[in-house]
Amino acid sequence: MRTFPDGFLFGVSTAGHQIEGNNTTSDTWFLEQQQPSVFTKPSGPACNSFELWESDLDLVASFGLNAYRFSVEWARVEPEEGRFDDAAIDHYEAIVDGCLARGLKPVVTLNHFTSPHWFACRAGWLDPEAPELFARYVAKVIDRFGDRLAFVITFNEPDLPAMLQWANLPPVVAELERATLDAASASAGVQRYRAANVVLPEDMDAIADGMTAGHRAAKAIVKDRYPELPVGFSLAMVDDVVVGDDPSVRDRKRAEVYGRWLKLAREDDFLGVQNYERLTYDGNGLVLPEGAASGALYGGSEPRSLAECVKYANSVAGVPILVTEHGMEGQDDAKRVAFNEDSLLHLLDVIDSGVAVLGYLHWTLLDNFEWIFGYEKTLGLVAVDRETFARTPKPSAAALAAIATGRGVPDPVTSEALVATDRPGRYGKQLASHLSKRVASQWDDETGTGSLVFGHGGRADLAAVDGGLRFELVARPASVARLEDVIGRHLVRFGARDELAVAWTRSDGTAGTTQRNSEDD
């Protein structure tokens, strides 16, 4: 097992608006109610975490994690301009104390996209007084419980609007965003209703300027009270890969999306890195997968991407990195398990190379409100019943718990196996024939090659070779520690009645053999 350094944080990240529910005094809530609206569904009660926060913390602690990232909702703390709600501050203080009581380090985000409705009516971060207004709110929060925080994140993904300009999104998205803000301005009776997560291209630079000033103002408040309390912000980062020998487009994208923020981060104690995707560029622009139509973002989940983003961010900013979000969307939880483990193995490579990585906070604890996608996208370690709010941990929660409590990633699985037999075609055909009834396994008698798809997301290429049938792992299975046994079971169950020797090699270079026959099953 490869282990993480002492003091490494393992936790989960959440955001108030996405889990608390009924954030009625916020700008995003107001935008959700507009017609038209870029939000497909309103957030409504979300996961009811404003009421169930103790249950959420109990879950985090039960997974053996040692950190919890959550956001304070400015809209709850200051629902009307200049009027602060002590009960709301009490609520967030209780969460901080609840974290500490459960052995969790509180990582607090001061602004996770959402702001008060009244702030948006003032044009949000376009208002010259916005940094001062933000700092006033921050002072109220830090004065109450700043002494008990482990990390402070001022802003979540202030680079996201710039990133979306590079996302190859269809024009209808930008048109709908503009229509949403126009409708909100009319409904509120103001000239410009503006929010941080629905941004017009012409406002992008000015909003970034306002948030830069807001970050510095908030940081000054924190450092004035608690000089040793680490302060930073988090960035949305895609693993930008170049094909060919012309990196100019990729480099221009990095400069426009990350440049100003990585420079700003040099002033801070750490930088939060948030990665989900890899995108590929050549000298002409974004390279779409074969057969893909233009007008959509085609990013892929690649286990190496997190490590590459961490390495790049650290090389430019020069400060320690805290992974503040990382995960995989989808219903296939077995794939999520394998993806997380592989990603953490690559992250260990970066740590071993000397990059200072403070911790890993998985996105996210709960299947929640994913902004414009509503509740269709699922990234949580825990499923949430939309009617009862019952929480049900997924296998990925147990897998992350095992890593966190063991302080390391399990040993690599088998990468190759050779089944010693003088009838490789027979067994290759039997395996593929049986599994093709459920999944896309196949065997070609003419070439003596095939592919095998088996349980827990595993895939292997097959080939008849001198001495037997060779398996080469293409996609590792989740929750399978001994792939060599799986191969043996499949051979026996699906037609093999001979005693077979399976010689295997793991991805770390270790090797061995396994004897399988029909009596073993």
Q: What is the model's pLDDT at position 408?
A: 93
pLDDT over threshold 70, residue 412:
no
Kindly state whether residues 403 and 422 are assigned to the same domain.
no
Average of per-residue pLDDT values in the chain = 90
Kindly state whether residues 218 and 331 are assigned to the same domain.
yes
Cβ neighbours for 67, distance < 8 A, ≥ 6 positions apart: 9, 10, 11, 12, 104, 105, 106, 107, 150, 359, 361
Q: What is the model's pLDDT at position 415?
A: 64
Cβ neighbours for 132, distance < 8 A, ≥ 6 positions apart: 217
pLDDT over threshold 90, residue 499:
no
Q: What is the model's pLDDT at position 161?
A: 97
Residue at a domain's end among 409, 438, 457:
409
Measured in whole angstroms, how far is the alpha carbon of residue 240 from the centre of its chain? 16
The CATH number linked to 478 is: 3.30.310.50
Measured CA angle at 196 (ends 34, 323), to 5 deg? 125
Residue at a domain's end among 377, 409, 441:
409
What's the domain count of the chain?
2
Phi/psi of residue 388, nearest 5 degrees: -100, -15
Q: What is the model's pLDDT at position 296?
A: 43
pTM for this entry: 0.83
Output the CA–CA distances (angstroms, integers) from residue 236 to 23, 135, 157, 257, 304, in the order listed: 24, 23, 5, 9, 16
Tens of pLDDT, residue by residue over 222-242, are 999 999 999 999 999 999 999
The letter for the amino acid at 140 is K
DSSP letter for each residue of 179-207: HHHHHHHHHHT-S----SSS--GGGHHHH
| CA 196 – CA 160 distance, rounded (Å) | 9
List the helix and strand counts (H, then E) for the chain. Answer: 17, 22
Tens of pLDDT, residue by residue over 195-222, are 999 999 999 999 999 999 999 999 999 9
Beta bridge partners of 356: none
Kindly state whether residues 19 and 38 are assigned to the same domain.
yes
Per-residue pLDDT, averaged over 285-296, amounts to 64
Kindly state whether residues 147 and 64 are assigned to the same domain.
yes
Tens of pLDDT, residue by residue over 344-353, are 999 999 999 9
pLDDT over threshold 70, residue 83:
yes
416 vs 39: which has the higher pLDDT: 39
Kindly state whether residues 346 and 434 are assigned to the same domain.
no
Q: Which domain holds residue 492?
A: 414-520
Kindly state whether residues 109 and 228 are assigned to the same domain.
yes
- CA nearest neighbour of 193 among 324, 26, 327, 41: 26
The CATH number linked to 302 is: 3.20.20.80
Give me 408's structure tokens.
């390391």
Kindly state whether residues 398 and 439 are assigned to the same domain.
no
Residue at a domain's end among 384, 409, 434:
409
Kindly state whether residues 376 and 486 are assigned to the same domain.
no
Binned at pLDDT 50, 70 and 90, residue 491 comes out as: low
Kindly state whether residues 314 and 435 are assigned to the same domain.
no
Q: How large a percentage of the chain has pLDDT more than 90?
A: 72
pLDDT over threshold 70, residue 143:
yes
Q: What is the model's pLDDT at position 520?
A: 39
Kindly state whether residues 256 and 377 are assigned to the same domain.
yes
pLDDT over threshold 50, residue 481:
no
Binned at pLDDT 50, 70 and 90, residue 354 comes out as: very high
Kindly state whether residues 22 and 52 are assigned to the same domain.
yes
Rg, Å, the chain Cα set: 25
